[in-house]
Amino acid sequence: MSEIITIGEPMVMFLADTKEHLSDVEHFTRLIAGAELNVAMGLRRLGHTVTYISQVGDDPFGQYVKKYLENENIDARFVKTYKEAATGFQFKNRTDEGDPEVLYFRKGAAASKITKDILEEISFSDAKVLHITGIFPALSETTLETIFKAIEKAHEQGMLVTFDPNPRPVLWESQEKMIRVTNELAFKSDIVLPGFREGKLFTGKDTKEEIADFYLKQGVKKVIIKMGTTGAYSREKLENGQVKEFECPSFEVPVVDTVGAGDGFAAGVISATLEDLDDIKILERGNAIGGIQVMNLSDNEGLPTFEELDNFLKNYKRKVS
């Protein structure tokens, strides 16, 4: 089995070739998207082995997803083909900077039909990390059951479970349910990776320290908070009761497209954790890969190799607070 296992929803993305409202764009470039898939790609490019679990439709988009994963050398043996639903897709426009407009076509897609039975044939032995987000469990009751089962299997094998809440309110029947279920998943995880604003939403707390403590008190081992343009913060409660906390500023980069930055951050954190780097280096790598990703238009094309990461660290400076 690979070092890392992740479960998610792959989507074919059509990126506008021109900077116009989507209603006016005539030509698009076909790419691929999906939060967990982005993390898988980021880790694979850094030399880690990754198994991606999902389901696609019996259609050309599903075939494209499988070929893309194979070309990235991601283990796609457990990306199943489902004949009764289509592969999800999205349209995304170009912006000069910041958040782009994204139009999703995912309701009832093949990935939402996954059940926990998909895990029966998959051995988690020898894997080190299970990475999950709050997106896939929001797709349906069966995907939520699948995630809970995956967490159970991961803990049985002594794996590290990393969780990025990645809220998508439109996918949930209510904000109350989104908060409740997301926190249930977080409490079962070892490392939780919220953004600062979403952390405030999920915990009702106002400071990064309070957000982190909310999860640490529930048994989470470490909380790493993405602070946006100011960097990242980590907090960990040791067995002796002492608290370790670290902050690392972000890098000064031109922002082209913010989508995928959090996924790049997660890939950086997971890879650095697997390499047993110290806390500051873990945050630095997360910030660096997130910074590289916002300089690129697609959700994952900018994810770096180690050589590209080293070049970035040599050429871009951290922000001065």
| Domain CATH code at residue 92 | 3.40.1190.20
- The pLDDT assigned to 101 comes to 85
- The pLDDT assigned to 79 comes to 98
Helix axes 196-203, 175-187, angle to 10 degrees: 100
If one counts the domains in the chain, the total is 1
- The pLDDT assigned to 26 comes to 94
- The pLDDT assigned to 262 comes to 95
Is 64 part of any domain?
A: yes
- The pLDDT assigned to 97 comes to 67
Is 54 part of any domain?
A: yes
- The pLDDT assigned to 239 comes to 83
φ, ψ of residue 292 to 5 degrees: the values are -60, -40
Is 283 part of any domain?
A: yes
Q: Which residue stretches of the chain have pLDDT < 70?
A: 97-98, 320-321
- The pLDDT assigned to 320 comes to 67
Q: For this structure, is 17 an active site residue?
A: no
Q: Write down the catalytic residue from 164, 263, 279, 299.
A: 263
Is 321 part of any domain?
A: no
Instruction: Count, in order, helices (H) and strands (E) of the chain.
Output: 9, 13
- The pLDDT assigned to 321 comes to 59
Q: Which domain holds residue 244?
A: 4-315
- The pLDDT assigned to 95 comes to 77
d(CA 100, CA 25): 14
For the stretch 43-47, contacts whose Cβ atoms lie closer than 8 Å and that sit 24 or more positions apart, written own/partner, are 43/3, 43/4, 43/267, 43/270, 43/271, 44/72, 44/73, 44/74, 45/72, 45/303, 45/304, 45/305, 46/267, 46/271, 46/304, 46/305, 46/306, 46/309, 47/306
Is 104 part of any domain?
A: yes
Contact between 164 and 182 (Cβ < 8 Å): no
Is 320 part of any domain?
A: no
Q: Which two tokens stand for residue 225?
A: 């908070």
- In sign, the C-alpha dihedral spanning 133, 136, 140, 145 is negative
